[in-house]
Amino acid sequence: MSRGDEVPRHFLEILSSTNPPPFTNGSGRLELARAIANPNNPLTARVYVNRIWLHHFGEGLVTTPGDFGVRTEEPVYRALLDYLAATFVENGWSTKALHRMILLSATYQQSSEAQPSDVKTDPDNHLLTHMNRQRLDFEALRDTLLEVAGKLDLKVGGLPMDIETQPFAPRRTIYGLIDRQNLPAVFRTFDFANPDTSNQARFHTTVPQQALFLMNSPFVIEQAKGVAKRDEIANAANAEEKVQALYRIILQRRADASEIELGEKFLAAQPKTDSKLSPLEKYAQVLLLSNELSYVD
């Protein structure tokens, strides 16, 4: 094999409009980082903006967030992607400003209720005629259960915690210990990304094990008990007020008349000798199991 000339350390030529100058400062890592996050390198901003859009809408403007090559599908709203990327750079690469601009837009604030005509003409919602209905990932779902039970620990930083064994740690799931050689079954059940590889997006499945976890998991049962013990529920004067308080805490809305009636019937029909869960705790678990909690509309 015949070796060619040694190539000096510099930024990638394929991503440069001119011949990139060699790196001369130490290991070159700082110069590489500056070259990647450079306004003259629009790819970085476009990829990052697309990932943020994917997080909020369930699908990126470029449907292949890990591949912006010429063989990928052309984004329908390429001008929007370019605008967001340019604005992102102008705002000093501020993620917070990018979130604010997207979340305050009329596009983000749409309902997921699609009009029949829109479903017919744009079944994949590429034209963003409505919001994409999204299920909470495992981290968000677990944090939501802890929050409605009044237990979520919002402390930032620290060592990873075992979130599978009792007593259950109230820390945010992002601090859960991940053993790459023995990934806990609950993570696999809820489509957790493979920690051994780079993942551009998570797959989403709907399998019985997910519902069984919410029905039988000691963690979920503990949160149902925690919800029922909250002052606004425990101190409610009657069944109607208790049902209303449960809806307000768990689903963030008021219960309508039919829901209150069903809730009262459920509470009245439950035997009070069950030592595992009281009627109120059972009803709290019913609401924790609901699609309305698990999905963002």
**pLDDT mean over 28-32:** 87
Could you tell me which residue, 220 or 180, shows the higher pLDDT?
220
Other Cβ atoms within 10 Å of 89 Cβ, number: 20
Q: What is the pLDDT of residue 155?
A: 93
Q: Is the predicted pLDDT of residue 274 greater than 70, yes or no?
A: no
| Through-space distance between the first and last CA atoms of the chain, rounded to whole angstroms | 60
Could you tell me which residue, 105 or 277, shows the higher pLDDT?
105
Distance in angstroms (rounded) separating the CA atoms of residues 206 and 244 = 30
Residue appearing with tokens 């802890």: 146
Q: What is the pLDDT of residue 35?
A: 85
Q: What is the pLDDT of residue 205?
A: 84
Distance in angstroms (rounded) separating the CA atoms of residues 99 and 45 = 14
Q: What is the pLDDT of residue 275?
A: 66
145 close to 220: Cβ distance less than 8 angstroms: yes
**pLDDT mean over 217-242:** 94
**pLDDT mean over 151-178:** 92
Q: What is the pLDDT of residue 195?
A: 83
Q: Is the predicted pLDDT of residue 81 greater than 70, yes or no?
A: yes
Residue appearing with tokens 């967030």: 65
Which range scores top for mean pLDDT: 10-14, 192-196, 254-258? 254-258
Q: What are the helix (H) ranges across the chain?
A: 29-36, 42-57, 78-90, 95-103, 116-121, 138-148, 185-189, 208-216, 218-228, 231-234, 239-250, 257-269, 279-288, 291-294
Q: What is the pLDDT of residue 69?
A: 80
Sequence length of the chain is 297
For the stretch 92-115, pLDDT in tens is 999 999 999 999 999 999 999 889
Helix, strand or coil for residue 187? Answer: helix
Name the amino acid, one letter, at 185.
A
Calculate ∠ Cα 184-186-144, nearest 5°.
125
As beta bridge partners, residue 153 has 171
Assessment of whether the complete model's pTM goes beyond 0.85: no
> Which residues touch 137 (CB under 8 Å, ≥6 apart)?
190, 191, 202
Question: Of 77, 89, 90, 92, which Cα lies nearest the Cα of 122?
Answer: 77
Question: Of 141, 256, 253, which Cα lies nearest the Cα of 191?
Answer: 141
Q: What is the pLDDT of residue 182?
A: 83
Distance in angstroms (rounded) separating the CA atoms of residues 106 and 128 = 11
250 close to 284: Cβ distance less than 8 angstroms: yes
Please state the φ and ψ torsions of residue 204, each to the nearest 5 degrees: -125, 125
**pLDDT mean over 268-278:** 80
